[in-house]
Amino acid sequence: MSMLGKRIVFIGAPGVGKGTFAKLLCKRWNIPHICVGDMLRDDVNKSAAGSLNNSGADEIAIFMKRGMLIPDSTICKYVGMKLKTLGNDNTRSGYILDGFPRSKAQVKYLLDNDFVDVVVHITLDRWVSIDKILGRRRCVTCGNDFNVANVMTDGYNMPPILPTDEGYQCPQIVLGKLCEPNFSTRSDDNVESLTKRLESYDVETTVAVESFKEFGGVALHHFPVKKGIEEADDLAEVIMQWFNIRK
């Protein structure tokens, strides 16, 4: 079954692995992964150049640095602008949207603009999320994401995600050579910012889930992660079955 044109939304606390699942399934289904946090970080790094000119790069950067959610009016405009540029009138590319919505107003924005077919709420025990967030590493040379956390107790099977090639290289060619990993951590993956982001999650994202129920009109699935990345097939199955049933 082709997943082209399907609009899928992943919501979940920071660290539940929604980005990792989204990347994997987007590659499999050949649809774009719209990771709002990554797009914001990229655009803020590029600073006032380009797309953020009209949306207030400075305002966005301040909220992100403090680990606070960006105001709804700003983030809705920003995400809407990105989604509208995908595909064209005849060929909608579809996507997995990751990291949006995180409030009732954002849910309403998605529904009012017909930006979503199916929502998956991904959950994970909080202690595992924290271990995974603090274990995140990005190679600054090739841009690949890794994770040094090793969560193997309480039934979890989440080994570190590391460069696998011999000689500890990233599985990516940069300028004709295998990349030498040069790990960095995200500036907001520290305990202080993380605590605020998890607090925001508890308040805002729970509201988002409840809002989808309240507004209705869209399928909402709960997907509790028990093992880790090996559950990607189960997650894909849940989503594809829903589209199959609707055919």
Per rule CB under 6 A, is residue 67 in the interface with ligand AMP?
yes
Element (H, E) at 96: strand 95-98
Binding part of the chain for ligand AMP, among 5-13, 63-71, 81-89, 111-119 by CB under 6 A, reads 63-71
- Residue span 183-202 as binding mask against ligand AMP, x where in contact by CB under 6 A, dash where not: --------------x-----
Q: Which is nearer to ligand AMP, 6 or 102 (CB)?
A: 102
- Of 63, 146, 183, 215, the one binding ligand AMP by CB under 6 A: 63
Q: Name which of 32, 37, 33, 34 is nearest 15 in CA terms.
A: 37
Shortest spacing between CB 189 and ligand AMP, in angstroms: 9
Could you tell me which residues come within 8 angstroms of residue 11 by beta carbon, excluding any fewer than 6 positions away? 18, 101, 102, 119, 120, 121, 122, 205, 208, 209
- Residue span 76-105 as binding mask against ligand AMP, x where in contact by CB under 6 A, dash where not: -----------------------xxxx---
Q: Which is nearer to ligand AMP, 68 or 229 (CB)?
A: 68
Distance CA 169, CA 67 (A): 32
Shortest spacing between CB 97 and ligand AMP, in angstroms: 9
Distance CA 87, CA 9 (A): 17
Sheet holding 136-139, edge to edge: 145-147, 136-139, 183-184
Per rule CB under 6 A, is residue 70 in the interface with ligand AMP?
yes
Calculate the CA 135 to chain-centre distance.
Answer: 16
Cα Rg of the chain, angstroms: 18
- Counted residue by residue, the chain has a size of 247
Distance CA 241, CA 239 (A): 5
Residues in 22-51 that interact with ligand AMP by CB under 6 A = 36-37, 40
Q: Which is nearer to ligand AMP, 34 or 158 (CB)?
A: 34
Binding part of the chain for ligand AMP, among 65-73, 111-119, 168-176, 231-239 by CB under 6 A, reads 65-73
Return residues touching ligand AMP (CB under 6 A). Answer: 14, 36-37, 40, 63-64, 67-70, 75, 99-102, 106, 197
